[in-house]
Chain A
Amino acid sequence: MNEARAIGAWRLVAMTLLLLLVAGGVAARVVMLQGEEERTFLKRQGEARTVRTLTVQPARGVIRDRRGEPLAVSTPVVAIWVNPRQYRSDHPAVPELAAALEYSVADLNARIARSAGREFLYLRRQLPPDRAEAVLALDVPGVNAEGEYRRFYPAGEVAAHVVGITNIDDRGIEGLELAYDAWLTGSQGRKRVLRDRRGRLVRDLEYLATAEPGRELTLSIDLRLQYLAYRELSAAMQQYRAKSGTVVVLDNRTGEVLAMVNWPSYNPNAPVVAQFEGLRNRAVTDLYEPGSTVKPITVAAALESGRIRNDLVIDTSPGWIRVGGNLITDPLDRGELDLTQIIARSSQVGIAHIALELDDDIMREALSRFGFGQSTGIGFPGETSGVLPEAARLPLIDRVTLGFGYGIAVTPLQLAQAYTVFANRGIFRTPSLLRLDAPDEGVRVLDHALANEINRMLEGVLHDEGTAVRARIPGYTVAGKTGTVRKVGRGGYDSQRHLAFFAGFAPAANPRVTAVVVINEPQGERTGGGQVAAPVFGRVVAGALRLLSEPPDPAPLLQASAGGGR
């Protein structure tokens, strides 16, 4: 017992000091880690691993028709992605995951295995939120969700060409979705977030930029009229087994496009981008020779230039005329015709006589004033400006045929715009696909009285002896012009393939609605503009006038007797 007591206390003191020394060293280390440099380094390393900057997708702006009906809306959906490094193909829920994402188990695993070195791989995008939730509930390692938006088009194929579509990343790629992409997109927000090692959000740290939702776009389109136009056009396409067709309806007082439909169309909610035929908005992208629809402009130019007088009577006998080496014919010998009759019956010979009176420049200048050969200014992606003949001197035959609409190429919208000049008694306006609060003043391009004269001639087209009896609308006077154009085929104009036009406006006394109908290659017995396009015009414009609550003409005397064009 004594030897135990002999053990010196210094040993315990030494041991205690040693422990304190070591503990002091550890404490010094802990404190040193808080040194300015060390701590900054460590925190930065930590942030490099935990802090991520995420973009916050703003909702894309809604596109509406002029009355507020939605044409394009964004709905929240979910993208499922996987971190291939965390994914475990042997997880028991993998078969369920594959089924929920519409893969086979082998395909899913192979797809993820191909990206084994990456940390991000989309598995399925734009899933409805409830389905995405079911996928997340499986709790397969590495499988995550990300919010995004999907565009939905309530009007479907009816407004597809005008509205356009977005791609999977919510950017506009067609139509007004493309033209107004920046406006509709808004601005992405950015926020800094903490993420745990599995990539899940822990919490938001700060917003670097708040997401500005996209702005709304209100179109000039009236969806009711758009539906009507599409229905009538589709019906005509069926009836005449035509290749394609377009209807454009303008409010000529403002230049607003009330309806713009094409056939064939496509379903923007499930677009197949490879279908080029259906994707095109033919009203602004496709060029046609306008044919006889140009005749009123020819007459207007001739009257304006003073080369002819309005009481001119032309003897069209014997129903043909030779210009250069070419023969220009009417279907039959119509004898003496005044200007109204030339327009009403669409006499080639009559117009040829007038055109022979004109210089190149007068005709070309008139066409240019009516908007041909230049962009309408509507701002639609892919719009073509058409073709006017070169300024050089034209051969006589070309000058004459230009008078009845061959040798130039126009879009249906351009044709409609040109006809608003007559409807507006000489005022030319830029068309608009957006609803306008204050319509464009426009520019006068034709004398008011002269425009009135031409309009009377255009009313005559719907008289009993005119070409467009079938465009009549009960209760209203209609003015317009038919066009039946032989298409250019191999080695010249093809007598088998036609374009059928009708361009016009109503009510004639105080026009509100100007419309153009183009039917490309109608098949069957009757393929002229008066037979094929005029009835579509009549029905669509009748609907438009009704929807716009236009009061009927007090005395639509001349056209009333034959009733409607139905």
Chain B
Amino acid sequence: MNPARLDSALLWLWLALLAAGLVAVTSASMELSASRHGDAFHHLWRHGIYAVLAVVAFLGVLSVSTSAWSGWDRACLVLAVALLALLLVPGMGREVNGSLRWIVIGPVSLQPSEPARFLLVVYLAGYVVRHGEAISSSLLGLLRPLAWLAIPSVLLLAQPDLGSVVVIMAAAVGLLFLSGARVLHLTFCGLAALAALAALISMRDYRSARLQAFLDPWAPEVQFGSGYQLTQALIAFGRGEWFGVGLGEGMQKLFYLPEAHTDFIFAVIAEETGVFGALLLCAALLAVVIRGLWHGRKAQRRGATMAAGLAYGAALMLGLQTLISVGVNTGLLPTKGLTLPLVSYGGNSLIVSSALVALLVRVAWENAQHASRPRRARQREVLA
């Protein structure tokens, strides 16, 4: 690979986000680490190790040609389903906070929903390659991949992990839209999805409680119950003001805000670096996403459908997760257990989101490779 043709902007954004995550996680977790593990740097060390693994995963994915994935798309779907199904095998899964999300094998904890994101991006990209025509012409072509995705979705809901389902399904719809699906068909799908979501929310008491808490987290009956986490996150924003109280100076992480170093890292960042830092972080993540989408478009234009699908899928997956996570932190969305990609503590999330960025960088590199070939060679390829 010629390093000169790597998208250096994406690379820098990725590294900057990893570094920001390392700082934020350290700040958010020190008191918790000291109190729970007797070592203030417990989470920092682990996050550092995950970051190294994330770089390894990044380089690994970067070295694989996008076309190499295309034969494996259905295998990826099967693998994703298998991993998620493994949670249901008695004795395999570990329950945390009432959700069955983890498989613990020796020192390694696997959160199947995270690799499932990557695997399902590959599956969707592969589907677009195989059935590009059908997607844009028939409703069935659109519904078929969504129907397949229903299997991992049901398994995710069994955990339960509605947040991941929303991210995956929305990314899938977005990918299909960018790949030419008809707006009318998509509208139909969207309405169906909303209905399903409403049904799911009303099905579970805790979800409607969360919804209620989301609508008015300060209501006396929820303030210290289901609305607690959100109120604490909002207080973090208020305390942070425009430029923050200073790194390490935050109060909310001192056991007031649960999951400060994972799902609610954005609130901690907002408290310590203010609106300025929070929006800068959002802008960086959004830049990765939009740049990724445009790399996808370039790949699409040169006919590299697999590369385009991978780029669209990866960018949308990252983008949606970012928006939902930030939305949850700011109280725009009901509380969901979703990490902020590249920033939150958690090895699985860090490795998978880095791998998704790697897909974008790979697509960009392949685009650059293609552009640098002599015009004739390109024409020959088109004619072939």
Q: Give A contacts to B, CB under 8 Å.
A: 1, 3-7, 9, 11-12, 15-16, 19-20, 22-23, 25-27, 29-31, 33-34, 38-43, 45-46, 49-50, 194, 196-198, 202
Contacts and interface: CB of A to CB of B under 8 A. Distances in A.
Given A4-B303, A11-B178, A29-B332, A45 B256 contact: no
B256 A19 contact: no
Interface in B244-266: 251-252, 254-256
28 contacts: A1-B303, A4-B132, A4-B303, A4-B305, A12-B296, A12-B297, A15-B177, A16-B294, A19-B289, A19-B290, A23-B282, A23-B286, A23-B323, A27-B279, A30-B270, A30-B278, A33-B237, A33-B238, A34-B238, A34-B241, A34-B242, A40-B238, A42-B234, A43-B235, A196-B255, A196-B256, A197-B255, A198-B255
A204 to B, nearest CB: 14
Nearest to B332: A29
B145 interface: no
Which one of A33, A38, A40 has the highest number of Cβ atoms from chain B below 10 Å of its Cβ? A33
Nearest to B251: A50
A26 B133 contact: no
Contacts of A29: 330-332
Contact of B256 (A4, A15, A197): A197
B382 A33 contact: no
A465 B241 CA distance: 97
Given A19-B319, A23-B286, A26-B323, A12 B178 contact: yes
B interface residue count range (under 10 / 10 to 19 / 20 to 34 / 35 or more): 35 or more
B279 A194 contact: no
Nearest to A31: B275
Interface of A is mostly: helix
A15 to B, nearest CB: 6
B234 A33 contact: yes
Contacts of B180: 3, 6-7, 11
Given A3-B132, A50-B251, A196-B31, A42 B382 contact: no
Nearest to B303: A1
A442 B301 CA distance: 114
A477 B275 CA distance: 92
Contacts of B179: 7
Interface of B: 31, 35, 132-133, 136, 174, 177-180, 218, 231, 234-239, 241-242, 251-252, 254-256, 270, 275, 278-279, 282, 286, 289-290, 293-294, 296-297, 300-301, 303, 305, 308, 319, 323, 326-327, 330-332, 382
A225 B133 CA distance: 113
Contacts of B305: 4
A79 B255 CA distance: 24
A6 B136 CA distance: 11
Contacts of B231: 45
Given A26-B332, A197-B256, 17 more contacts: A7-B180, A12-B293, A15-B174, A16-B290, A19-B319, A26-B330, A29-B332, A30-B330, A31-B275, A33-B234, A41-B238, A43-B235, A46-B239, A49-B256, A50-B254, A196-B254, A198-B255
Contacts of B286: 19-20, 23
A39 B275 CA distance: 12
Contacts of A27: 279, 282
Contacts of A15: 174, 177-178, 293
Contacts of A49: 235, 256
B254 A202 contact: yes
Contact of B332 (A11, A25, A40, A42): A25
Nearest to A196: B254
Contacts of A40: 238
B343 to A, nearest CB: 15
A139 to B, nearest CB: 8
Contacts of A39: 238, 241
A45 B382 contact: no
Contacts of A11: 177-178, 180
Given A11-B178, A27-B282, A49-B256, A42 B330 contact: no
B238 A194 contact: no
A34 B275 contact: yes
A6 B305 CA distance: 12
A319 B320 CA distance: 121
Contacts of A1: 303, 382
Contact of A4 (B235, B237, B290, B300): B300
Contacts of A202: 251, 254
A461 B321 CA distance: 107
B294 A45 contact: no
A339 to B, nearest CB: 87
A128 B155 CA distance: 58
